[in-house]
Amino acid sequence: MRRPMTRVEGTPPEAHDEAAVVVPSPKLAPPPPASDVLERDRLLDVLDQATSGEVPSVTLLNAPAGSGKTVLLGSWFRRRARHHPGEHLVWVSLDANDNEVFPLWSSILRAVDHGVVPGPALARDASAHERVGAFVDACARLRRPVILVLDNAHELSAPDAVESVNLLLRYLPPGVRVVIATRFPPPLILPQLRLEGRLREITAPQLNFTEEETGKLLARKNLALSEADLDRIAERTEGWAAGLRFLTLALDSAPDTGGTIRSFTGDDRLLGEYLSGEIVGPQPAHIRDFLLSMSVCPEITDGLAARLTGQEHAGQILYTLTRTNTLVTRHGGAEVRYRCHPLLREHLRAELSRRHPRAYRRLHRLAAEWFTDSGDVLTALEHGVAAKDEELITRYIQRSGLQIVLKGHGTRLHKLLGALPEHLLARPQVALVAAIASLDDHDLVAADRYLGRIDNSAQPLRSGRLRALNAVAVLFRARYGGELNKALTALRATSAGDTGDVDLDLLALATRGTAALWLGDIPGATEDLERALRMATLERRDAVSLHCEIHLAGIACVQGDLAGLAVHTGAAFELARSHGWTETSRTAFLYTVLGLAAYQRLDQESARRFSALASRLLPEVVDPAVEMLTVTLGAAVEFGLAADPHAVVETLRSHRKRLAGESVAPWLVACTAPVEQRLALRVGEPTWAMDVMERHRHLLAPYAEHALLSSLVHLHRGRTGAARRRLRPVIERQTRTLVAHTLIESWLLEAVLADQAGEQNQAHAAVNHALDLAAPQQALRPFHDAGQDIRELLVRGAGRFGRTEEFASAVLQALPARPGAPVDPLTSRELELLTELPSMRTAEQIADSLYVSVNTVKTHLRGIYRKLGVNHRRDAVVAARRRGLL
């Protein structure tokens, strides 16, 4: 069928001379919408706002090919026509022929005159001013606002055509708005319009689909997409409309949605044809070669681009590429970096690898050299692997493999080394570094495979360095379950820690210190971890610094060292924040330590928050000790909130049975066993409480913690005498304690037992001992867990605790009051007076401070005494504290 045509205005139908220009009708209307177009209200509203106002304005949509400019403008054009019938909307799709002035203005004027009486015809040689004048006259005849859309304005380059459009933009009549869509800024007077405040701009980042819009677009396909799928789509396409379009086409015929999303790259056939035809193909040959060369790197600087391409003016070329919207973007602060859109880069890299395989490897070697000179050894190694240069790979691993892990990039290194050929992984140096990277990434299967190569090798490790490295790797592996003590002994038999190789010695110290901690050698662990921390700080091995800070914080928490805890957790947080590690498995144990500290000071909200963070970030493969502490904290904070506390304790018991075969330090059991026993007693399971004591007898028998567990069982059975006899060596310090709060709990239990025996002075003295020990640690938890009997002793002893009186008051404030018999509520004035009673001031002094008479004070006092059921001031203070009123 022949395409309908429109003649130039004022030309008689029968005239077919050389002045006639035929304008295709589709050129004067937006393309018809596709059936699956998503109307994006966000951008439609932006266009409405940009084309509103009294001042004649120009709106510029400036974005790369495939950004959805024409589709968006078409949707907006049709919506605008529906919602604003009083406006005259004009559309012109520009093309290369419009670089001739006569066809260009024939199209514009014909579009303006559509549906109205046309004006007089213009001669082919009419001046630019005459053409603009004709446009102004046409708009005036309409007597209504006009919006002119010029699509594909990047096609304009001829000076005469550009000059005529510039004249129009400079002298836009009132009531006329112009909307220009272009792939890159045409040579129009846009800077002048911007300076005058008459230019509204919509750029590529605004046109990109948001995550919500992407979800809506894909939902139309009735696809069941996971959050991971949507994240992968967003990462791969970055919201670029054409990328999403080609992805949906691929999904239309895909039996495996997830697999198609994972495999969708710039090498997709249909997308590749589009990129070649619309982005890469129109570029000059030297720019195409430039783009191919830079595709070997995800990001590139001027210097790197010059090294790869051999172009002296590489920086200028990169800048021009960003200005011409070739899907190359510029970002960064002090050092400017450039990057291709991921899909374009994948397309270019695939083309380079297929068409120029030698150049592909050569460029990767050049990149490796450049990144080595820049100090980025991991990226250099990645390029060495891509270049398939085995000697280069081996050299990088030997020199810098451990450094990469210790700086916190073990996961990237693990993934990279996993793709190496088997014969390379058979080299001991490569296998051992690969094992350590796997362990850093919590992949025990891969680590065991790499270490197995060493164990099964017919050749012994020849150098002392390799033997030390092997011992470190074996000890690292044993931390996740194995013969930790044996591995630690084997490491100490090597030179690990004193080889002179900074990274090997640093890893050895950190691993040895951690193993010593979990085996119960806290002094040895502290010495190694502090030494490792000093080295790591000096050498900027920040992943090791973080590890040491967190484990030293754990030691401080166990020892009740608040100052040390604050120093190490503060330093750990700063390190994690600066590297983006606050929400990673590296900080899981940090949150466990902080949660335990919060639990001890009765900060339930913080304890729950830190416990939830620790549980969420804890990797599947973890030190059994870290897991035990984290699970215990979780059970302790969940117990008071759970609908079924019994189930919480059952879960904790099951976890303990699962870890029964693991080697754990006595101090670790001393931290966790009392919690488990106390929870068992609270849900009415004395057998479980007895089991806790018996299960850990072999570890705790020489220590005070076992005596405390035993005393609690005796007390629960009503054997108070046996309980006190079992407790006596602890409070007399004849038995060593493993954790700081054990002695506090022991004195509190002694206070309860003494009070039950009618020994009130001894009970008060025992509470005083507990306060002396707890005050420096701000340890409120032992008092809370000791129950209402301790609260009663604190109430009775108020005013007699000497230097710990302030802390005793804080403890009393933190402990819940026992509900008493209903009493008449105190009035606000009585409550105000009640707060004065613990002081030593007289009734007259109180009256003066409250600005009332002495008789008024005495009247309120009688009311307080009557309501509290007492006869004396001191008894009123005791009763008020008992009820939680003070």
- 656-694 pLDDT, tens per residue? 888 777 778 888 889 999 999 999 888 888 889 899 999
Q: Which of 440, 383, 442 is nearest to 410 (CA)?
A: 440
pLDDT tier for residue 873 given thresholds of 50, 70 and 90: confident
pLDDT band at residue 459 using 50, 70 and 90 as cut-offs: confident
- Residue 828: is its pLDDT beyond 60? yes
Residues 215-265: tens digit of each pLDDT: 888 888 787 788 889 999 999 999 999 999 999 999 887 788 888 998 999
Give DSSP secondary structure letters for 457-491: -SSPP-SHHHHHHHHHHHHHHHTTSS-HHHHHHHH
pLDDT reported for residue 115: 59
Which position has the token pair 């051992």? 432
Distance spanning both ends of the chain, measured CA to CA: 95
Q: What is the β-pairing status of strands 176-182 and 58-62?
A: parallel
> What would the pLDDT profile of 35-62 be if each residue is shown by its tens digit?
778 899 999 999 999 998 777 789 999 9
CB-based contact 50:61 (threshold 8 Å): no
Q: Is the pLDDT of residue 289 over 80?
A: yes
Among 18-22, 488-492, 606-610, the range scoring the smallest mean pLDDT is: 18-22
CA pair distance 26, 96, nearest whole angstrom:
16
Question: Exposed, middle or buried: residue 546 (CB in 10 Å: 0-12, 13-18, 19+)?
Answer: buried
- Distance of alpha carbon 828 from alpha carbon 16, whole angstroms: 102
pLDDT at site 540: 95
Please determine, for residue 813, whether its predicted confidence score (pLDDT) is greater than 90: no
* Residue pLDDT, tens place only, 151-209: 999 999 999 999 999 999 999 988 899 999 999 999 999 999 999 999 999 999 999 99
Residue 153 neighbours by CB distance under 10 Å: 24
The reported pLDDT for the residue numbered 117 is 54
Q: Cα separation of 358 and 3, whole Å? A: 50
Burial label for 848, CB within 10 Å (0-12, 13-18, 19+), is middle
> C-alpha distances in angstroms, 334 versus 301, 331, 337, 851?
11, 10, 9, 66
Residue 436: Cβ-neighbour burial (10 angstroms; 0-12, 13-18, 19+): buried
Band the pLDDT of 469: cuts 50, 70, 90: very high
User: SS3 breakdown of the chain: % helix, strand, coil, rounded to 5?
Assistant: 65, 5, 30
Query: Do the Cβ atoms of 562 and 780 come closer than 8 Å?
Result: no
The closest alpha carbon to 248, from 208, 213, 218, belongs to 218
What pLDDT is attached to residue 573? 94
Q: DSSP code of 407?
A: I
**Which contacts of 850-858 are long-range, i.e. CB under 8 A and separated by 24 or more positions?**
857/833
pLDDT at 338 over 80: yes
- Please report the pLDDT score of residue 816 as a whole number: 78
* pLDDT of amino acid 788: 84
Segment 444-448 shows an average pLDDT of 95
pLDDT at 14 over 60: no
Write down the mean pLDDT value for the chain: 89
- pLDDT category of residue 821 using cuts at 50, 70 and 90: very low
Local structure of 226: helix, strand or coil:
coil
Cα separation, 414 vs 404, whole angstroms: 10
pLDDT value of position 550: 97
The per-residue pLDDT for 118 is 65
Q: Where are the alpha helices (DSSP H) in 775-835?
A: 781-786, 788-797, 805-814, 828-834
Question: pLDDT at position 884, please?
Answer: 64
Read off the pLDDT of each residue in 293-307 and give the average, rounded to a whole number: 95
Q: What element of type H or E holds 89? A: strand 88-93
In this predicted structure, what is the pLDDT of residue 11? 44
Interval 76-131: pLDDT, tens: 999 999 999 999 999 999 999 999 999 999 999 999 987 565 666 778 888 889 99
- pLDDT, tens digit, for every residue of 342-369? 999 999 999 999 999 999 999 999 999 9
Please name which of 603, 602, 571 lies closest in space to residue 587, comparing C-alpha atoms. Answer: 571
Of the candidates 778, 794, 796, which has an alpha carbon nearest to the alpha carbon of residue 786?
794
CA–CA dist 518, 628 (Å, integer): 11
Of the CA atoms within 13 Å of residue 844, those in its CB half-sphere come to: 0
pLDDT reading at 314 higher than 80: yes
pLDDT (0 to 100) of residue 5: 39
Q: How confident is the model at residue 1 (pLDDT cuts 50, 70, 90)?
A: very low
DSSP code string of 717-730? TT-HHHHHHHHHHH
How would you classify the pairing of strands 58-62 and 199-203? parallel
- Let me know if 538 is exposed, middle or buried by CB neighbors in 10 A (0-12, 13-18, 19+): exposed
Structure tokens that stand for 853 in this block: 């008479």
Is residue 66 a contact partner of residue 266, using CB atoms and an 8 Å limit?
A: no
Question: Which pLDDT score is estimated for 63?
Answer: 95
pLDDT above 90 covers what percent of the chain? Answer: 63
- CA-to-CA distance for 743 and 733, rounded, in angstroms? 9
Pairing state of beta strands 22-24 and 5-7? antiparallel
Helix 241-252 to helix 227-237 angle (10° resolution) is 130
Name the pairing type of β-strands 176-182 and 146-151.
Answer: parallel
pLDDT of residue 819: 53
The encoded tokens of residue 336 equal: 């400017």
User: What are the pLDDT digits (tens) for 544-583?
Assistant: 999 999 999 999 998 889 899 999 999 999 999 999 999 9
